[in-house]
Structure 1
């Protein structure tokens, strides 16, 4: 007997039936980008103040990125695995080490993977701090009591199972309990952190210098300095999650440069490879020395194509002229947003630095995002009543001013 044919449902331009419904996508379909502008399939233009959630730092249609992609393709090497050496990944690691505190770099495919890797590296390093044999013995260090990871209130570190436990979003966490063990969230308070950071139990603390998803909250630099002192004294690794706020977004190559604090690890992703999937963990000498072959791995991380593009992107983002441009446009943006709040009376608070700003509004943020999209401006939310603005770092003053004028119009019509 023949098996009946199974009909395959047609996927038309008006449906997303073949895509798992993990996102509520905007109604238009984006087909092209140029500079800081996106275009949909109806030919409508949108000024982009979202940058693909801080990914497209160099905008769209960038000739340098296109050349780096073609250069990699010309070798015929898109992927060879990490069983073999390739020049692009090694050159990228050398650049990152030369331009940061780090001794070594590990490459992966996303921000969540970078944070997962940092958690593993912290626990691996913490095992080197306990007496030989104590891991398996009863007592304060056994079995490996020094393993806990602490994040801060308002944090977002990803949605995979390990880092989800460090992400302070009840709506993301609740459907997936029980969450990974040994990970907790502490208040952004020196006294609570002092009580929480037990030297015998805690392996690492992870912090976003600017909490992006958590409302674009700039973590107090005094708190970060206190945290650095505590973690250094208690042999606890300090991880800075710079996935959204690093690589030029604040007007310095690294977000930690704005804080007066040097961490033990930094995690990166978003703009790193110009829109290609790539993450990284930068580690200091002590942690690098603790990680052994077989402790961690990745099939695709740091492949020749993405690494070649990432090296080009990093060299561009590390250009002092570009960083000065970000600082200059960021200062203009902050003053303009303050003036918008004063003129409209519809802004409750304003936070940010460089080209990363959060605007608290009386009206639900999603409603303003929708009106902005209808007006041809793409912006994001960072909470129920917070707008998040992340324009490409190459944006001109004219485009920035034009977008801010559009934003004022859509905020000003709020009821």
Structure 2
């Protein structure tokens, strides 16, 4: 495998991954064109609720990708079917549960966020419509993960991009032409989610690997493999909860420093998310190749994947750091025109220069673990990284204020990278038996 092969998978996945947060962003932007700021605030609150909910279920995509890649490497068509069918059962159950319990779920979410009366009213309108897309959105996660794992990258890219284009068109039509306001914005997103699910199902049906009969219920719910899926998804959920803990504490403490600091931090976090999504694209590529290597029992491909992952961690982090350093004066004003917020953001933007260098290795190595479907090290290292964050948070923030908050976050990112690197030899022993990891680390030169 060469750099060209790796990038042929990574680049489309980067583009696909970056489109993920656009559904909520488009909704908020269109709401911002309405007559009152309460519309935008309500949509923003509603979007936050669904982003959190779907983020918690992001494990459906990640784990499905790993299992699908392994079945592809092993050339096992039935396992390819099962790699998709089993998580879809989980997604369908969760989606129906959200619809059934929508009222208590909505009340609990609004109680936690505590928006003002008008914002809460519009958020409730948005929620009551968009909740009906939950089963389709969660099933789409499984389908996207499966398409990635099966190396059907063009389909993955088309699905993500076309969903967002449809959402934009429907948003404008429902709001500007039909005057449906918040309900129209939510309806546009639901239709986009239904479209994504249906097109994804069609892609699955037309793929050659699926031209076999559907599995029996006994095979579908066989205790041993189903337990493996549940365990992997459980550990990925714990990882996500750890991330939510860090970001919620970060946001809450930023709010304590005042609205201008909170707004500046929000801008820098958005820049951080863009960088993280780029690394996530590389992680998805590493996951696909790792899954193939394990399915084929190809230690050479596994070692080469590890080598390319490390190389592109270094290359991508360097490029992002340099680009941000030279273009930060043009990037930050894209998010706001408020001079006070811009001035504060420029005070703390040094931490965005450090983020790619500290976080890239952990974010991309994460893909190797998910491709191997060995998530316990990911869970454990994330818990330890959160403990590092908490220790820094309670020690440094009282002394250095917002700089201490950002330093705590950078230490959290660095801890994830270092701890996952330390876990790599153990992973290699688990999947291929005892051998020297140096065999894989040493092959840094492309063929």
TM-score interval, normalised by the smaller of the two chains = under 0.3
Give the strand-richer structure, 1 or 2.
Answer: 1
TM-score, normalised on structure 2? Answer: 0.24
Give the helix-richer structure, 1 or 2.
Answer: 2
TM-score, normalised on structure 1? Answer: 0.26
